[in-house]
């Protein structure tokens, strides 16, 4: 008599290790910068790490059939389900190959990003600048060198203003291509710098160019921490808080000095300072800090 064999599926398939309890860090971490407006302190920049738990793979339990009495005590074990194994392999490999967010360097802030060009210059001006950029971009790679930008700087620029613009260019091009948008925004910045008069203009001759890169980055980060809506402009009250942190001062208790700062600003919109105007006045703000330190 031929003895029949019955294949018995093992009780419950356990999910492969690595599904439950494993979180995948989101591809892009949103930076949120909080501002500490206490006198004499710099704002604290915090980067919250947000993570999203992946959905767990739910497997319906497999019922264990009743073994007939005539079936031998030994059973044939089923192989591992390929669906689970195949699903887990790429996810595990991705988790192993993905670098941790903490090991990634923070992106350098772009001084020329977040500017509303359509409000800063007319459509005709933008079209002319685009044509100029296309002529300068001889290799048509969408990027121009500073030597090419230098040919378009205002003739009345002094060497200190030119060195300042060079530093802004270096910071920007380390972050992204210096393309047509950056070229148009830089053109707007050079116009604002050219129009400076009095102390804001003289401040360029007293800049410490050895630390200028860090100075500009610090001010840009502070501006972006205040301009959370990325409008490219902030109110004068927000500017006061920003300068309190940058200059280690309390302008609320120095109304006379604050009015002096405000009177020195030539702004296109009353009560608001744009990001480009802010960039142009950084040397003046730094001069105020140095004067306070020496007094």
Please check whether residue 263 lies inside any domain of the structure: yes
Please check whether residue 31 lies inside any domain of the structure: no
CA distance 48 to 31: 7
Tell which residue, 295, 258, 281, 289, has the closest CA to residue 199: 281
Q: Phi and psi at residue 24, in whole multiples of 5°?
A: -110, 125
Of the chain, the end-to-end C-alpha distance in Å amounts to 110
Answer whether 113's CB lies under 8 Å from 274's CB: no
**210-262: pLDDT as tens digits:** 999 999 999 999 999 999 888 899 999 999 999 999 999 999 999 999 999 99
Please check whether residue 162 lies inside any domain of the structure: yes
Residue 111, C-beta contacts closer than 8 angstroms, at least 6 positions apart: 168, 171, 172, 216, 220, 275, 279
CA distance 227 to 277: 14
Please check whether residue 247 lies inside any domain of the structure: yes
Question: What CATH number is associated with residue 165?
Answer: 1.10.238.10
Please check whether residue 178 lies inside any domain of the structure: yes
* DSSP 8-state assignment for residue 253: G
User: Within 10 Å of residue 101's Cβ, how many Cβ atoms?
Assistant: 15
**27-76: pLDDT as tens digits:** 444 444 444 444 454 455 444 444 343 443 444 455 555 554 444 444 44
**246-257: pLDDT as tens digits:** 999 999 999 999
Give SS3 for 272: strand
Number of domains in the chain: 1
Query: What number of H helices and E strands is found in the chain?
Result: 11, 6
Please check whether residue 244 lies inside any domain of the structure: yes
Residue 170, C-beta contacts closer than 8 angstroms, at least 6 positions apart: 146, 213
Please check whether residue 171 lies inside any domain of the structure: yes
Please check whether residue 276 lies inside any domain of the structure: yes
Q: What distances in angstroms separate CA 14 from CA 74, 79, 82, one per listed residue?
A: 22, 12, 13
Answer whether 52's CB lies under 8 Å from 24's CB: yes
CA distance 125 to 184: 9
Question: How large a percentage of the chain has pLDDT more than 70?
Answer: 61
**Residue 34 burial by Cβ neighbours in a 10 Å radius (0-12, 13-18, 19+):** exposed
* DSSP 8-state assignment for residue 104: S
- Per-residue pLDDT at 121: 84
Per the structure, the complete domain to which residue 226 belongs is given by: 117-294
């Amino acid at each position: 008599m031929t003895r029949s064999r019955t294949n018995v599926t093992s009780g419950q398939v356990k999910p492969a290790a690595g599904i439950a309890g494993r979180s995948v860090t989101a591809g892009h971490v949103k930076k949120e910068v909080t501002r500490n407006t206490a006198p004499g302190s710099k704002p604290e920049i915090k980067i919250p790490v947000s993570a999203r738990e992946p959905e767990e793979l739910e497997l319906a339990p497999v019922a264990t059939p009743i073994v007939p009495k005539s079936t031998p005590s030994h059973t044939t074990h089923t192989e591992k389900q390929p669906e689970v194994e195949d699903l887990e392999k790429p996810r595990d490999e991705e988790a192993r190959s993905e670098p941790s967010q903490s090991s990634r360097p923070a992106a350098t802030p772009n001084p020329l990003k977040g500017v509303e060009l359509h409000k800063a210059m007319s459509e005709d001006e933008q079209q002319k600048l685009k044509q100029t950029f296309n002529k300068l971009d001889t290799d048509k790679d969408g990027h121009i060198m500073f030597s090419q930008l230098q040919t378009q700087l205002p003739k009345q620029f002094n060497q200190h203003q030119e060195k300042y613009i060079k530093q802004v260019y270096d910071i920007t091009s380390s972050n992204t291509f210096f393309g047509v948008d950056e070229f148009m925004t830089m053109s707007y910045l050079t116009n604002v710098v050219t129009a400076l008069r009095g102390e804001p203009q003289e401040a360029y001759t007293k800049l410490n160019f050895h630390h200028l890169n860090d100075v500009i980055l610090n001010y840009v980060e502070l501006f972006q921490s205040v301009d959370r809506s990325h409008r490219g402009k902030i109110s004068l009250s927000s500017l006061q808080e920003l300068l309190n942190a940058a200059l280690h001062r309390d302008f609320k208790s120095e109304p006379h000095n604050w009015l002096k700062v405000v009177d020195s600003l030539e702004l296109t919109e009353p009560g608001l300072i744009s990001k480009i105007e802010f960039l142009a006045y950084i040397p003046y703000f730094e001069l105020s800090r140095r004067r306070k330190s020496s007094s």
